[in-house]
Amino acid sequence: MNSNPLDDPSADPFEVAAQAAGDIARLTGVEHHDIALTLGSGWGKAADLIGETTATVPATEVTGFSAPALAGHVGSLRSILTPTGTRVLVIGARTHYYENHGVRRVVHSVRTAAATGATTMVLTNGAGGIKETWTPGTPVLISDHINLTADSPLEGATFIDLTDLYSSRLRGIARSVDPTLDEGVYCQFRGPHYETPAEVQMAKAIGGHIVGMSTALEAIAARQAGMEILGFSLITNLAAGIQKTPLSHAEVIEAGQSAEPVISALLARVIGQL
Ligand code: HPA
């Protein structure tokens, strides 16, 4: 495995992100992107629906990106031109906090997206649902988050406001595309184990509706970079103890695959309105 400059504690993560943005400009031929989109489990097909892919770059060729940890998590970046002329950078290479590479690597894609010029960050994931009315395959908007990792992408005394982190303006646009979209508070757990039923009850008691292992740290970094954020979860399963059967990764992947055509079309329509 190649060494990653972000593993050097003396490296400036924003400088590494600027280098990565330079790599993307060189490898895609596109100097500036407007919107960045991170695709989590179940959302992959959206990339094919939002416009014409003009370049695909293996993430391993971009400074600071790690190879994907999981089969099924595509390790590439795509530059897409929408019919209205918007440039979308699709990030199919997420580094999860549970991979233990440190939070700098977790948020590198977001910082890189900002360095390419993107001012809107769309974060998607597959997650467990706490609301009993949700069934596997339901897409929901993220209205806010509770960060249970006890970590932060901010270093030093960097005090950043997180009010309206998941932009109510962008949620309104998503709802204008699909008025039936529900929303909820996303709780990021460290993982990679799923939660215990008691942890799910705790998440519910403190105001959570969705449990997952990504997104919150990325959203904080996106806010720090000045981006406007839209978050979507695909409910792949009801959270542990809410559903009576044990959770399995295979079930999560399968729910993602069967929901993919519908939610990808929805996401593509929303992106078309941003
Ligand atoms: N918990 C955490 N992460 C998840 C889940 C879950 O139930 N489902 C998919 N990702």
Write out pLDDT tens, residues 142-178. Answer: 999 999 999 999 999 999 999 999 999 999 999 999 9
| Residue of minimum CA distance from atom 3 in ligand 1 | 212
Residue 72 DSSP one-character state:
T
Q: How many helices (H) and strands (E) does the chain have?
A: 8, 9
The answer to whether 56 and 86 are in contact (CB under 8 A) is no
- Contacting residues for 149 by C-beta, under 8 A, at least 6 apart: 97, 188, 189, 190, 216, 217
In this structure, the number of other CB atoms found within 10 A of the CB of residue 64 comes to: 24
DSSP-derived pairing of the beta strands 87-91 and 76-81: antiparallel
Fold category of 27-154+162-273 in CATH: Rossmann fold (3.40.50)
Compute the distance from residue 60 Cα to the ligand 1 centre, in Å.
27
- pLDDT band at residue 251 under the 50/70/90 scheme: confident
How many Å apart are CA 39 and CA 232, to the nearest integer? 10
Number of neighbours of residue 83 by Cβ within 10 angstroms: 9
Q: Nearest residue CA, atom 6 of ligand 1?
A: 128
pLDDT digits (tens, 9 = 90+) for 173-225: 999 999 999 999 999 999 999 999 999 999 999 999 999 999 999 999 999 99
| Model confidence band, residue 75 (pLDDT cutoffs 50, 70, 90) | confident
Please say whether the beta carbons of 13 and 5 come within 8 A.
Answer: no
Instruction: Report residues whose beta carbon is within 6 angstroms of any ligand 1 atom.
Output: 126-128, 194-195, 211-213, 236-237, 239, 247, 252
Q: What does pTM read for this prediction?
A: 0.96
- Name residue, tokens 């969705």: 210
CA triplet 102, 108, 113: central angle to 5 degrees?
Answer: 165
- Does residue 168 sit in helix, strand or coil? helix
Report the alpha-carbon distance of residue 89 to residue 67 in Å, rounded: 18
Catalytic status, residue 195: yes
Q: ω before 192 within 30° of 0 (cis)? A: yes
Q: Map out the domains of the chain as residue ranges.
A: 27-154+162-273
> How far, in Å, CA of 13 to CA of 105, rounded?
9
Is the pLDDT confidence value at 66 over 80?
no
Average pLDDT, the chain: 94
